[in-house]
Chain A
């Protein structure tokens, strides 16, 4: 009876979900495709728009609460008060191992802000009267974009020479009316235009979010590949009132709730929220693999490498070498890294220093409970050691911790050598005489950055080695490409150095192993000596008889 009930429960979600799936049973229908509204027919959108905010005003004439919702979301505030650590995080506040920080570099960094016109970090986005940008997420015409240096505004006709979009492409004039009339649910093109290019270029930051995910083969991402589930980002990152599941500051390292009751709404974006805590096929092997789910994150085995699909990720950024100029005093650019998709990536820039890149990179692994702390600008650092930009929390014995894969970004970046604190640097500013990328003067750039961030600065600076951790969760490989057991269950396996886990196969020569081997060798030696004596001293009739 119990078994029948369990079977029935298992079957229910499949049955309930059936109408959502296309006839071929492969991918869920495009969210919104069956919408009751066709924006191309809306009267208020039948016009030419002169600016982004003008479109937003038109949207709000029907979607009366949308701006309020968006303005409370992290996409707009760039601010997150961590409930566990109490730290005030978000792009507005943190320092990273890439371009450093937003303050002082606003119109460049805020080009990816989900709003228009935030050009001063000293004010919150609301105080700065930034307007939510509906189109960046809801345009489905494919021709909406934002100018790389325009504080979130799109390039409009006439487009100035040399203007670029946030993906680094040459700007084109956006037709705002066409974009508005195409409004629909976000696709991966919307999310990817910003999130695949974090850090100022394709896959620079995350390692597992690159332009390869616009149309990935099955081997790169089973969920997003058209040969696989063909998910959009929001298939997993579900939203409620413009607030999304999934955060890099406070992750859900595991989901004890699992799939929930049949028909229950899913509110978080973990593997377990769809696959449950015992996802492997029934059988002895499945049971054994399921034994791992209370120790490992799914990602640990199922994302064997990141930066797959032909787009490299930046693995090392050494700012300390920035500023070297050629004999004629011009900036140097070297592009000696050849990506497998044929692109060259910068390996040295006078503006930014030395870079290293990696494709198909094996992650580093660490216990993680989802809490990410930040070495904010007011924290003391020990410059004699590698500074962790964002120490991750988690312990082996905590039920909410799992071993997770991370991209570990290696940096060498500026710090205040008088106060022993990380600094904010004014890097971007074509018209200022302090911006590093224009003037190549660290002292001025740091002073200006610290001023923009409202931070105290001793006037002395140096460079410190840093690590920054990026949890790896995208680019799930097909099951047959998951890590083999011996990737970890071996001497010097991938988990070498991790504590708090019993892992057979890693220590064949521990004390018990050596004692055992000695016992076996003693037995072998004993019988060989015994046999040798018998052979050397042949005894007559030495037998039972």
Chain B
């Protein structure tokens, strides 16, 4: 096994990640203003920004879903129990004892099992929950005449709000975990350059050197 810098975050994925980050921050900021939690931006402009950012994020996600499916990248998010407990144990216990992180990144599996299952939950539960309820809230006038509409409307708002807070909690944990292990800078860098330190078998290394030289950095 050798460690080499391999491009595991292609250009689209990085674009998707950072524009998603910016949009989510805009949505959280304007959304909490719309919720009445703060008044740092007036309600009207907050509404406009929230709608525009939400629609942009949905468009981005349409592309992202297409990208995951056509490139096969979705396999990174297939959940596995293998090593899940060890990683969890590391974060709640071993880290304090100075142990090394138990997960070794492979170029076909860039997330540790805990990351993979967290991102998967985010993608198939929280994000759909917030878009669906958001679109329902946006289209309130189209269904406000159904029976029990006020109660359903309140339910939709509440799910939307809870999903938003859950995403905010994820952002907190996500950013904090960048400080665990390597330096914050080192953690962020792969999502900018695309290259991360990956364990390669001799066969993988040979394959990348020979067939995908752009994906592997020359030895230092």
Q: Which residues of B contact A537 (CB under 8 A)?
A: 96
A541 to chain B: closest residue by CB: B98
On whether the beta carbons of B98 and A540 are closer than 8 Å, the reply is: yes
Interchain CB contact under 8 A, A531 and B153: no
B-side contacts of A534, CB under 8 Å: 95-96, 180
Residue of B nearest to A522 (CB): B169
- Distance of B20 from chain A, by nearest CB (Å): 19
Q: Which of B96, B99, B101, B103 has the most CB of A within 10 A?
A: B96
**Contact status of A523 and B47, CB under 8 A, knowing A510-B158, A516-B164:** no
A2 interfacial by beta-carbon distance below 8 Å: no
Q: Which residue of A lies closest to B112 (CB)?
A: A544
Contacts of B47 in A (CB 8 A): 288, 485
Interface check B184, CB cutoff 8 A: no
**Given A294-B141, A486-B39, A544-B181, A520 and B169 contact (CB-CB distance below 8 Å):** yes
Could you tell me the distance in whole angstroms from the C-beta of B31 to the nearest C-beta in chain A? 9
Contact of A523 (CB < 8 Å), options: B99, B100, B162, B169: B169
The CA-CA distance from A524 to B47 in the complex, in Å, is: 27
Neighbouring A residues of B96 by C-beta, 8 Å: 533-534, 537, 539, 542
Q: What 0/1 pattern do residues 157 to 182 of B give for CB contact below 8 A with A?
A: 11101101110111011001001111
A530 to B95, alpha carbons, bound, how many Å? 10
Interface residue? A508 (CB, 8 A): yes
Choose, from A316-324, A448-456, A499-507, the stretch at the interface: A499-507
Q: B97 within 8 Å of A by Cβ?
A: yes
Given A527-B173, A539-B95, A543-B101, is A490 in contact with B162 using a C-beta cutoff of 8 Å? no
| Bound complex: CA A504 to CA B42 (Å) | 13
**Interface pair B168/A520, CB less than 8 Å apart:** yes
B150 near A489 with CB under 8 A, answer no
Report the minimum CB–CB distance from B207 to chain A (whole Å): 24
A541 to B101, CA, bound (A): 11
Q: Quick one: which of A485, A504, A540, A543 has the most chain B CB within 10 A?
A: A504
Check B36–A508 contact: CB distance below 8 A: yes
Residues of B within 8 A of A531 (CB): 176, 179
Cβ-Cβ contact count across A and B, 8 Å cutoff:
125
B34 at the interface (CB under 8 A from A): yes
Flag whether B51 is at the interface (Cβ < 8 A): yes
Query: A486 — which chain B residues lie within 8 A by C-beta?
Result: 39, 42-44
Q: B16: shortest Cβ distance to chain A, in Å?
A: 24
A531 to chain B, nearest CB (A): 7
Minimum Cβ distance to chain A for residue B163 (Å):
9
- B20-35 vs A, CB cutoff 8 Å, 1 = contact: the mask equals 0000000000001111
Residues of chain A lying within 8 A (CB to CB) of residue B188:
none
A519 touches B169 (CB 8 A): yes
Given contacts A502-B150, A544-B101, A513 and B42 within 8 Å (CB-CB): no
Chain A residues with CB under 8 Å of B179's CB are: 531
Residues of B within 8 A of A504 (CB): 34-36, 137, 157
A545 at the interface (CB under 8 A from B): yes
A142 to chain B, nearest CB (A): 45
Q: Of residues 274 to 297 in A, which have CB atoms within 8 Å of B's CB atoms?
A: 284-285, 288, 291, 294
Shortest CB-to-CB span from B62 to chain A, Å, is 20
- CA separation between A454 and B70, bound complex, in Å? 88
Known contacts A490-B36, A505-B43, A543-B100: does B150 contact A500 (CB below 8 Å)? yes
- A516's nearest neighbour on chain B, judged by CB, is B165
Q: Mark B173-203 against chain A: 1 for CB-CB distance below 8 A, else 0.
A: 1001001111000000000000000000000
Cβ of A491 under 8 Å from chain B = yes
Query: Which residues of the partner chain B approach A288 to less than 8 Å between Cβ atoms?
Result: 47-48, 51
- A542 close to B98 (CB less than 8 A): yes
Residues of the B chain whose Cβ atoms lie less than 8 Å from the Cβ of A539: 95-99
- Residues of the B chain whose Cβ atoms lie less than 8 Å from the Cβ of A506: 36
Q: A515 near B: Cβ within 8 Å?
A: yes
- Say yes or no: is A484 at the interface (Cβ < 8 Å to chain B): yes
A294 CA / B145 CA spacing, docked (Å): 11
Closest Cβ neighbor of B171 among chain A residues: A523
Q: How far is the CB of B8 from chain A (nearest CB, A)?
A: 15
Please tell me if A512 contacts chain B, counting CB pairs below 8 Å.
yes
Q: Contacts of B32 on A, CB cut-off 8 Å? A: 508
Closest chain B residue to A294, Cβ basis:
B141
Chain B residues with Cβ below 8 Å from A496 are none
Residues in A whose Cβ lies below 8 Å from that of B144: 294
Question: Does residue A36 face the partner (Cβ distance < 8 Å to B)?
Answer: no
Q: Cβ of B168: which chain A residues have Cβ within 8 Å of it? A: 520, 523
What residues of A have a CB within 8 angstroms of the CB of B95 in the complex? 534, 539, 542
Is the beta-carbon distance between A523 and B36 smaller than 8 angstroms?
no
28 contacts between A and B (CB under 8 A): A288-B47, A484-B43, A484-B44, A485-B44, A486-B43, A489-B36, A502-B140, A505-B43, A508-B32, A508-B35, A512-B161, A513-B35, A516-B165, A516-B166, A520-B165, A520-B169, A520-B172, A523-B168, A523-B170, A526-B173, A527-B172, A530-B176, A539-B98, A541-B100, A542-B97, A543-B182, A544-B182, A545-B100
A interface residues with partner B (beta carbon < 8 Å): 284-285, 288, 291, 294, 396, 484-486, 489-491, 500-502, 504-508, 510-513, 515-517, 519-520, 522-524, 526-527, 530-531, 533-534, 537, 539-545
Lowest 8 A-B CB distances belong to which pairs? Answer: A539-B98, A516-B165, A512-B158, A485-B43, A523-B169, A508-B36, A527-B176, A544-B101
